[in-house]
Amino acid sequence: MFEVFTQNTVMFYITVFVISLCIGSFLNVVAYRLPIMMRRQIEEDFHSLSNDIPSTESTAEPFNLMVPHSACPKCKSPIKPWQNIPVISYLWLKGKCANCQTSISSRYPIVEALTGLLGLLIAFHFGATIQTAALLVFTYFIVALTLIDLDEYLLPDSLTLPLIWIGLIANSFGAFTTLESAVYGAIIGYLSLWSIFWLFKLLTGKEGMGYGDFKLLSAIGAFLGWQALPVVILLSSAVGAVVGITLMLVLGRDKNIPIPFGPYLAAAGLIAALWGDQLTQLYFTLAGIR
């Protein structure tokens, strides 16, 4: 398959773009349903331990990433296949439900388009290689994690932990670095933020981040190796600080309201995967080390 795509790059780019668009549509479902599934599971576990009768919500019809089928939240009209074509259906329906004309959030086509464009960027950058395959999977995961963290201040273990293993497996084939570097990247990535978390808590008595952030950086380290972690931490911290200060100064956001750190880690990880070497060289040059 790689040979076919290598010989026909246009087909390769189109295939990656279309697949990424479709996966972007599915990621919208994941971002909405996974937190609900987690809450229901927690409630069911609690009731099973306490021998209480579970709530109506937890005993309702099956609810997972596949069922029930997507429907309009207002009129409950099922979304037909032709109404669920990424981006195109939203534009065709003018952003409204085909049955009741209720407005559809623009977030859906934005996520679809963004996922498609990121996939295309990765395909352009690495071509038909194992790096592209691995980084596409990484990107799909971090898009879902970013959406969930923005909505719920949560980075689910069901996404972060598999991502660590995927990174290690990819680098067992030498996708981005050696397996040894990937293993140390996973370990150091977790421990670095874990150490910062406890230092901050000892000094202030507050929790500056969640354990999901540790696991996400561990996954990034598993993909890119321990050498990329300084760039990732520097980028994510700098962007997070700028965004946080801007929200407080421009929008008047309360400084006590937490800001999810996962999206900045995710963006920094993707940037480091694409341009990490150039950024490192630029840093050394500006610092006068080289």
pLDDT of residue 57: 53
Number of domains in the chain: 2
Check residue 210 and give its pLDDT: 87
Mean pLDDT, consecutive 10-residue stretches, the chain (290 aa), reads: 75 96 96 94 82 58 86 86 92 92 93 97 95 97 97 96 98 96 98 93 86 96 95 89 77 72 94 90 71
User: Is residue 285, in this structure, part of any structural domain at all?
Assistant: yes
Query: Residue 113's pLDDT is what?
Result: 97
Measured CA to CA, the distance from residue 265 to residue 216 in angstroms comes to: 8
Answer yes or no: is 248 within a domain: yes
Whether residue 151 is contained in a domain is answered as no
155 occurs within a structural domain: no
The confidence score (pLDDT) of residue 61 equals: 76
Helix (H, G, I), strand (E, B) or coil at 238: helix
Q: What is the pLDDT of residue 107?
A: 95
Q: Which of 141, 128, 194 is nearest to 167 (CA)?
A: 141
What are the φ/ψ torsions at residue 96 (nearest 5 degrees)? -135, 155
Q: Alpha-carbon distance 270 to 113, whole Å?
A: 17
**Same structural domain for residues 1 and 124?**
yes
Return the pLDDT at 209: 85
Q: Which helix (H) or strand (E) holds 38?
A: helix 9-50
Same domain for 282 and 176: yes
Q: What pLDDT was estimated at residue 2? A: 63
**Please, what sign has the CA dihedral across residues 18, 68, 263, 94?**
positive
What is the C-alpha to C-alpha distance for residues 176 and 167, in angstroms, rounded to an integer? 9
Last residue of a domain, one of 77, 103, 128: 128
Question: 172 and 108 in one domain?
Answer: no
pTM surpassing 0.95?
Answer: no
d(CA 286, CA 290): 8
- With 0-12 CB in 10 A as exposed, 13-18 as middle and 19+ as buried, what is 219? buried
284 and 169 inside one domain: yes
> Per the domain annotation, does 231 fall within a domain?
yes
Q: Last residue of some domain: 80, 99, 128?
A: 128
Domain that holds residue 206: 165-290
